[in-house]
């Protein structure tokens, strides 16, 4: 079946460090891929998305590239800020039933 696996957290980094949060998926067909972010006390917000292979989604300095050959959609940012501290969820929309399938989330802590 369809599933999303992301790296366990928490991930703790210093301000201005490089960030990678790994995400891999299993799906039949060609899913759309998403990163959502959940700031403390807030709801889920769409961070970026990609709908086909080799697409790169980007927003707020974050990027992720849809890699079909490695079934991955890793989230990266060149220089993180304290305000990036949040929980990040990788997700896919299954092309078979159009349900949103979620990873377990990765908590990111940025220290000044």
Partner 1 sequence: EAGVAQSPRYKIIEKRQSVAFWCNPISGHATLYWYQQILGQGPKLLIQFQNNGVVDDSQLPKDRFSAERLKGVDSTLKIQPAKLEDSAVYLCASSPGLAGSADTQYFGPGTRLTVL
| List of residues contacting partner 1 (CB under 8 A) | 4, 32, 34, 36, 42-46, 49, 51, 89, 91, 93, 95, 97-100, 102-105
CB of 38 to partner 1, least distance (A): 9
Measured from the CB atom, the residue of 36 and 62 that comes closer to partner 1 is: 36
Q: CA 95 to CA 93: how far, in whole Å?
A: 6
The DSSP-derived string for 3-70 is EEEE--S-EEEETT--EEE-EEEE-SS--EEEEEEE-TTS-EEEEEEE-STT-EEEETTEEEE-BTTT
Measured from the CB atom, the residue of 80 and 94 that comes closer to partner 1 is: 94
CB of 13 to partner 1, least distance (A): 20
Measured from the CB atom, the residue of 18 and 60 that comes closer to partner 1 is: 60
């Amino acid at each position: 079946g369809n599933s999303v696996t992301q790296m366990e957290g928490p991930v703790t980094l210093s301000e201005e460090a490089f960030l990678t949060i790994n995400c891999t998926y299993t799906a039949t067909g060609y899913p759309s891929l998403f990163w959502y972010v959940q700031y403390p006390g807030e709801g889920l917000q769409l961070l970026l998305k990609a709908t086909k292979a080799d697409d790169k989604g980007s927003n707020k300095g974050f990027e992720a590239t849809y890699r079909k050959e490695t079934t991955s959609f890793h989230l990266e940012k060149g220089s993180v800020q304290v305000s990036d501290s949040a929980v990040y969820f990788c997700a896919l929309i299954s092309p078979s039933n159009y349900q949103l399938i979620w990873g377990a989330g990765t908590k990111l802590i940025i220290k000044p």
